[in-house]
Structure 1
């Protein structure tokens, strides 16, 4: 997809994102696809239906990315965020994932579920969105009048020294196959994707659940669609064919004087769905008075999921206003939102951003984060159950 003008290319980039997210939001609401619910059903009831839906989404993502890479339709070595970077921040992946897993359990859902619940009329999730957005924003952006962020103050001094500098990218294909990276990515993607797919469909109950299969398929395909769209929008400028990111990086060389320059080039790189950093981006966008230069993939994805959920809630007549049941309920959601804000940025993603999008690249850090999120959530549920039994 090559365009003559930056404005046209950027509009397609943003509105295609919104459209894909709209479909995903509606289907997630309809099917009750929920990563926190997946862990809860498994831990508390032994029901793996929604967990298999999550695994199906991952399998679709892994197999799809493997096919797109092999066909030369995506290049995931320079994504936003940089999932395959050769700097393995394993402690941040694990700690951030655990914090996020605890937080999503306390706040009744992950970042994506928060948006789905808002679309369904849940006012508790509006507070969760605001708190996550505030924490996420200042984890990345400095405080007013300072060059310090929450990340640089609270985490960087002791987490960064533990990072491992790899000699290759951190995806499994590159790490295990040496110079034969392309072959390694095909082999690892095919093997892991097929194994995940087999496990997902191994259960007769899952095979008979239309909603679980639909939810997993659509979420996985939405992640793939976003990878494809953001990797294939180009601009023809002075005889050169450039990506949106490259065009903005060389803005003064190519752009007409009357064209509005985006605030940053990074958010125009190839990417797919994640929801914690975009909540911070959305807060900054609203606080700026809706400055168009701050409009990003993440903001459009957030808006699309919310709109899709609202649309399905209205169509199905399931829209219901919901508020906190008690002061304890309020504080659980507040603490959960704070932990998700810290954890989601520290781990560089959430149950969707690392658990599906990042996992689709087979980045080791994404796999660490996925495991840490599940363990953090599962342990929190066990603790909650033990406390409830003691109170009874």
Structure 2
């Protein structure tokens, strides 16, 4: 394509690079990681990184609400249509669960995977390659795409059937409550959610002050997610995309969007197969920016180290983890960043369900690994009872491991 037509798209991509660089540097400097948040909380009881995750969501929710209320952008039509009226709830839940399991097996969520790649971890590079191959198969293989979009879309519910045009919490309340504009409902709900999240993260550690790194990480990542929406959804971003669309071969991946890291892994493979500027998407450049940003921080701090697999079993675990992350990310239409941050910032109900599935999948996987390590001779029934008790689905007194019994067995099991 002539350079004249490349200029608007290159301008957008330059912004994506800066956003990715900021995300990678902040995540590396503060150890921000969604899987690490769940892991610390489950294994050691440390809520620090979970508080950072909640803070980043709160900041993004508030930032999006204020900018959207001010008319800076409109997130009702985004590249990943988070607020679509069609609501395939099982797809969100199943995809989230698969992704949550996968990120534990792969040693980190997509955020941590990209940060680790920047710091020289070849294990994470392999896991992310598996994510890309899996995602590409589900996106570009017609039969697989049909299965994901048609079969996994059932059961679903359309909010348009009850005269509600979008699935975000503000639109749902506006649709069932007489009076008040959609804009005002969205702002009100965002304020309530933000205050609720801040109160929750305060109570998580009995009111103790957040660690500085966690506070900086949560605030910084939340602002970066908001910046992604601002850069692509503002009048300037929309004008640049409109200009790029007039090119003889318009670029792929246009549309209002923020960060997500599963689909870009597949897009990189498509770009490698047929290199062309039009195939370089916002997501690809932002993803590469994360790697470079984390790498620059690692070099400056002297943390860059090449690392590889220590055993074939580790190779297998990372491979399975990458497979599940790629599968779950496509099914749920986003990863722990795509749905857990970008989607959650729109307060879309599907994003919140996917986020819950991710946390639940990681929680259960971490608990299983912990109990198998501590009580290797325990029976499957005891493990099941322990998980049900941890999830508060049965009384806590039924927990078979609460007395530190090395076998994990209790005479009355879950019947007590």
- TM-score, scaled relative to structure 2: 0.84
Instruction: Tell whether the 8 Å contact from 2:12 to 2:240 is kept in structure 1 after alignment.
Output: no
Give 1:207 shift: 2.4
Residue 274 (str. 1) matches residue 254 (str. 2): no
Correspondence for 2:273: 287
Whole-Å Cα distance in 2 between the matches of residues 18 and 149 of structure 1?
34
- Distance in 1 between residues matched to 2:132 and 2:208, nearest whole Å: 35
The aligned counterpart of 1:371 is 356
Within 5 Å, give how 1:300-319 maps onto structure 2: 300-319=285-304
From 308, 318, 333, the equivalent of 1:333 is: 318
Partner of 2:381: none
> Is residue 2:173 matched to residue 1:176?
yes
Query: 3-state SS of the aligned residue for 1:324?
Result: coil
Unaligned runs of 5+ in 2: 378-416
Find the residue that maps to 2:305 and give its secondary structure: coil
What is the CA–CA distance in structure 2 between the aligned matches of 1:229 and 1:248, rounded to whole Å? Answer: 15
Alignment of 1:197-276 (within 5 A): 197-202=198-203, 203=205, 207-234=209-236, 243-247=239-243, 251=246, 255=247, 261-264=249-252, 267-276=253-262
Assess, with a 3 A threshold, how the Cα gap between structure 1 residues 200 and 6 changes in structure 2: closer, same or farther. farther
- Alpha-carbon offset, residue 205 of structure 1: 7.5
1:179-194 correspondence runs (5 A): 180-194=181-195
Give the counterpart of 2:146 among 114, 137, 152.
152
How large is the RMSD of aligned CA atoms in angstroms? 1.8
SS at match of 1:207: coil
Which structure's CA Rg is the greater one? 2
Are the equivalent residues in 2 in contact too, given 1:262–1:294 (CA < 8 A)? no
SS at match of 2:76: helix
Q: 1:391 to 1:336 in 2, by over 3 A?
A: same
Q: For residue 376 of structure 1, report the CA deviation from its aligned partner.
A: 0.3
Distance 1:131 1:386 in 2: 28
1:145 is aligned to none
Q: Deviations over 1:303-324 (max 9, x none)?
A: 1000000000000000111111
Cross-structure match for 2:338: 353
Select between 197-206 and 221-230 the one with higher mean Cα deviation: 197-206
Q: Which residue does the alignment assign to 1:165?
A: 158
- 2:51 is matched with 52
The 1:10–1:204 alpha-carbon spacing in structure 2 relative to 1, beyond 3 Å, is farther
Cα shift at 1:23:
1.3
Which residue number corresponds to residue 381 of structure 1? 366
Structure 1 Cα separation of the partners of residues 206 and 7 of structure 2: 48
Contact 2:88 2:154 survives alignment (8 Å):
no
Deviations for 1:118-145, whole angstroms, at most 9, x for unmatched residues?
0011000111111100111121112xxx
1:54-77 deviation line (CA, Å, top 9, x unaligned): 000000000000100111001001
Q: For the structure 1 residues 18 and 191, does the alpha-carbon distance in structure 2 shift closer, same or farther, using more than 3 Å as the test? A: same
Quote the offset at 1:246 in angstroms.
4.5
Q: Assess if the C-alpha contact under 8 Å between 2:115 and 2:290 holds in 1.
A: yes
Hey, what does 1:239 align to over in structure 2?
A: none
2:321 corresponds to 1:322:
no
- Indicate if the aligned counterparts of 1:248 and 1:261 stay in contact, CA closer than 8 A: no
Q: Which residue of 1 is the match for residue 281 of structure 2?
A: 296
**SS of the residue 2:51 aligns to:** helix
1:245 Cα deviation after fit: 4.6
Does the aligned pair in 1 maintain the 2:17–2:285 contact within 8 Å? Answer: yes
Q: Is the 8 Å Cα contact of residues 264 and 287 (structure 2) preserved in structure 1?
A: yes
Show the 5 A alignment for 1:84-163.
84-142=83-141, 148-153=142-147, 155-163=148-156
> Cα gap change, 1:183/1:357 in structure 2, threshold over 3 Å: closer, same or farther?
same
Q: Displacement, 1:150?
A: 2.1
1:74 is the counterpart of 2:62: no
Give yes or no for contact 2:251–2:281 (8 Å, CA) kept in 1: no
CA distance in 2, matches of 1:305, 1:229: 17
Deviations 1:159-205 (CA, angstroms, capped at 9, x unpaired)? 22312111220000001112721111011011101211232244478
Q: Is the 8 A contact 1:274 1:357 kept in 2?
A: yes
**Cα distance in 2, alignment partners of residues 233 and 303 from structure 1:** 25
